[in-house]
Chains A and B, each alone.
Chain A
Amino acid sequence: SQTIHQWPATLVQPVGSPLSLECTVEGTSNPNLYWYRQAAGRGLQLLFYSVGIGQISSEVPQNLSASRPQDRQFILSSKKLLLSDSGFYLCAWRQQYGYTFGSGTRLTVV
């Protein structure tokens, strides 16, 4: 079956620390993958998307980066977190009928 996994579910990190969030999909090959952030009072904001290994497109300039080291793996990273990086991060995968989202990671930067 086709599924998408995202971890961790929650994360509390100090300002200036690094970040690594991982997303993997199962049951498909060469998926289009996306990272979204959902901040309080705002809609889901597209951060990055990838159409294949090593191919990353950034939608907004920011303190974050993304990588696609394997076909079904998408990683969101930061070298030094800012308070403004706090939010709910969602990985998504585009399927024929629409987009499927992971369960999300609640990141709190303190």
Chain B
Amino acid sequence: EDQVTQSPEALRLQEGESSSLNCSYTVSGLRGLFWYRQDPGKGPEFLFTLYSAGEEKEKERLKATLTKKESFLHITAPKPEDSATYLCAVMVRSGGSNYKLTFGKGTLLTVNP
């Protein structure tokens, strides 16, 4: 069974205090790993897709990396507006031409001014 585990469950940072979120996964045939940001009461907002070990992607203060067993979302000098729940998901093939996305429970990030 595909499993995605995110840690920590919650993280509180001071503005400017860099840190990393972890996503470890156990899947058969990874087709892609996704990071999403979710604000309260809203749908997840796409951040990154990583496809192979060693791949890295950046967007503003965020940088995502991928190994064969886990992914990290590095947050550099965070600001209060970065506060949100960050979700990790893995995509695997699910019969025919369909793919399935399995999510972790997320990390609730709070950045204090």
Contact = CB atoms under 8 A, between A and B. Distances in A.
Contact of B49 (A34, A41, A42, A98): A98
A49 interface: yes
Interface residues of B, number: 26
A2 B87 CA distance: 23
B103 A43 contact: yes
Nearest to B4: A43
A40 B104 CA distance: 13
Interface residues of A, number: 26
Given A99-B46, A100-B46, A94 B104 contact: no
B100 A90 contact: no
27 contacts: A32-B98, A32-B99, A34-B101, A36-B103, A42-B105, A43-B4, A43-B87, A43-B104, A43-B105, A43-B106, A44-B89, A46-B100, A46-B102, A49-B98, A51-B97, A51-B98, A88-B41, A90-B44, A97-B46, A97-B49, A98-B34, A98-B46, A100-B46, A102-B43, A103-B43, A104-B42, A104-B43
The 8 closest A-B pairs by CB, nearest first: A101-B43, A44-B103, A43-B105, A43-B103, A104-B43, A101-B44, A98-B49, A103-B43
